[in-house]
């Protein structure tokens, strides 16, 4: 500021960083007093083999959330529902559901399935384990006013036991579609067949993955449209673009830790032996610990110096895993809403632009919202009002707007 001596700059920088951290914690719905410690896993997320018997999307357990989750004019529950794992095996997936308390006229409320951004890959990193999940579901206020049923999956392995298949399309897609089924199976929800998918970052990847399998996996449901903010699309390009950044190192650690367990790959060929402990500490951390992540306290050896012996975007099996799980254009009959910030350094605007062009070339109707000066963490928040309005128009059967004519 004018008139202040240069010696105060470090204090100002530290203050600004702390304000940023506090803002992100508040945005995430976390209690600042608890934000630096991952919450314990709730034993109600555990299931027996017998409890897994039943069709995908049926509800195993439903219970009240903690104090502080309340949404005015909405009923709120945690749920545990049945889904299918990568090999078709029955699994349990946790999530949350919000719906109006009054009876639904005709029992036909539209459903919005929210897909969350990266929170980590450890079981305790489930969004339903945070202090106040409702504040992390972007557009909640608008969806409440519209009277929608909102369901928010944790994805497999977060909350419920198991290894989380991070950025694995089939896993995310099944969990999302089965969350819609679960919403319809919750007593008194009034949920109908028509639904939309809405996600941010990893959640953007998830909604695109679900769109690919929706017709074959859940043919009894009616997908009205897909909305995605800063979605992870071309995984090879994304991981390569972020390879030399702290954010890229963190996300790579999550992916390699998850994929090594899912696909039975030894870490010794990928992770430096001297960095193994720091790598595992980083990979099993949750994004609730944002201050320690941003200040690089916990894993600065990994984030500063690197931890991999190889470049996974050029080395098997990692490259093939990325290629297989990079969502292609969705079926053109599904209208799309894509939002992207121009200053996003996690999901490159160029990569999202390329994906939107592929959608247009494939005949999709795409509303593409480019947000000047918006960073990655705020992409869903800054686009949520328009995304919810767009989904509402799809529920009403209105013709989808299409920006493909101006996209070259």
Residues of the chain with pLDDT under 70: 1-41, 131, 288-305, 408
- Which of 319, 251, 317 has the alpha carbon at shortest distance from 282? 251
- Give, in order, the Cα–Cα distances in Å from 195 to each of 59, 87, 113, 137, 152: 18, 26, 7, 16, 13
Per-residue pLDDT at 71: 77
Per-residue pLDDT at 250: 84
Per-residue pLDDT at 33: 30
Per-residue pLDDT at 302: 52
Per-residue pLDDT at 169: 97
DSSP class of 124: G
Per-residue pLDDT at 248: 84
Per-residue pLDDT at 22: 35
pLDDT digit string, tens, across residues 274-290: 889 888 888 888 876 44
Cα(200)–Cα(227) distance, integer angstroms: 9
Per-residue pLDDT at 135: 73
Could you tell me the strand order of the sheet in which 191-200 lies?
59-63, 75-84, 90-99, 149-153, 109-115, 191-200, 222-229, 336-341, 366-371
- Which of 78, 80, 79 has the alpha carbon at shortest distance from 51? 80
Please list, in sequence order, all residues whose beta carbon lies within 8 angstroms of the beta carbon of residue 74, skipping any fewer than 6 positions away: 98, 99, 100, 101, 144
Per-residue pLDDT at 292: 39
Per-residue pLDDT at 297: 40
Sequential DSSP letters for 249-310: HHHHHHHHHHHHHHTT--GGGTB-GGGHHHHHHHHT--TT-HHHHHHT-TTHHHHHH--BSS
Cα(257)–Cα(299) distance, integer angstroms: 15
Per-residue pLDDT at 131: 63
Cβ–Cβ under 8 Å, residues 214 and 176: no
Q: Show the beta-strand stretches assigned E in 28-148.
A: 59-63, 75-84, 90-99, 109-115
Per-residue pLDDT at 265: 95
Per-residue pLDDT at 12: 39
DSSP class of 351: H
Model pTM? Answer: 0.87
Pick the CATH number of 43-233+328-395 from 1.20.1050.90, 3.40.50.1820, 3.30.70.890, 3.40.640.10: 3.40.50.1820
Please list, in sequence order, all residues whose beta carbon lies within 8 angstroms of the beta carbon of residue 8, skipping any fewer than 6 positions away: none
Cα(65)–Cα(348) distance, integer angstroms: 36
Cβ–Cβ under 8 Å, residues 210 and 334: no
Tell me where in the chain the CATH 3.40.50.1820 domain(s) lie.
Answer: 43-233+328-395
Cβ–Cβ under 8 Å, residues 205 and 231: yes
Per-residue pLDDT at 73: 80
Report residue 390 CA to chain centroid gap. 20
């Amino acid at each position: 500021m004018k008139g202040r001596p240069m010696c105060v700059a470090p204090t100002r920088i530290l203050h600004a960083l702390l304000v940023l951290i506090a803002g992100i914690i508040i945005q995430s719905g976390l209690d600042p007093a608890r934000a630096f410690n991952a919450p314990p896993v709730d034993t109600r997320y555990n299931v027996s083999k017998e409890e897994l018997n039943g069709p995908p999307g049926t509800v195993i357990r439903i219970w009240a959330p903690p104090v502080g989750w309340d949404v005015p004019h909405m009923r709120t529950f945690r749920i545990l529902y049945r889904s299918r794992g990568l090999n078709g095996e029955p699994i349990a997936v946790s999530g949350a559901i919000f719906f109006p308390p009054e009876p639904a006229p005709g029992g036909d409320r539209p459903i919005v399935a929210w897909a969350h951004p990266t929170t980590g890959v450890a079981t305790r990193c489930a969004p339903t384990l945070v202090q106040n999940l409702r504040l992390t579901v972007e557009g909640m206020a608008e969806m409440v006013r519209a009277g929608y049923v909102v369901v928010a999956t944790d994805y497999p392995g977060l909350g419920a036991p198991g290894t989380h298949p991070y950025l694995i399309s089939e896993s995310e897609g099944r969990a999302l579609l089965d969350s819609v089924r679960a919403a319809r199976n919750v007593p008194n929800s009034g949920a109908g067949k028509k639904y939309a998918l809405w996600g941010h970052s990893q959640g953007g990847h998830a909604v695109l993955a679900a769109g690919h399998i929706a017709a074959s996996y859940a043919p009894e449901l009616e997908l009205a449209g897909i909305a995605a903010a800063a979605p992870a699309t071309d995984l090879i390009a994304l991981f390569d673009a972020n390879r030399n950044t702290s954010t890229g190192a963190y996300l790579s650690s999550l992916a390699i830790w998850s994929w090594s367990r899912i696909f039975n790959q030894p870490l010794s060929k990928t992770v430096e032996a001297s960095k193994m402990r720091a790598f595992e500490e980083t990979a099993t951390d949750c994004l609730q610990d944002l201050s320690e992540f941003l200040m690089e306290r916990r894993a600065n050896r990994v984030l500063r110096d690197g931890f991999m012996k190889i470049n996974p975007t050029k080395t098997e099996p990692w490259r093939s895993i990325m290629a297989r799980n990079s969502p292609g254009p969705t079926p053109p009959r599904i209208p799309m809403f894509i939002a992207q910030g121009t200053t996003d350094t996690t999901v490159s605007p160029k990569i999202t632009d390329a994906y939107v062009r592929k959608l247009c070339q494939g005949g999709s109707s795409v509303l593409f919202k480019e947000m000047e000066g918006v960073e990655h963490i705020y992409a869903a928040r800054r686009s949520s009002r328009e995304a919810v309005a767009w989904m509402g128009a799809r529920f009403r059967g209105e013709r989808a707007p299409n920006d493909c004519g101006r996209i070259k």
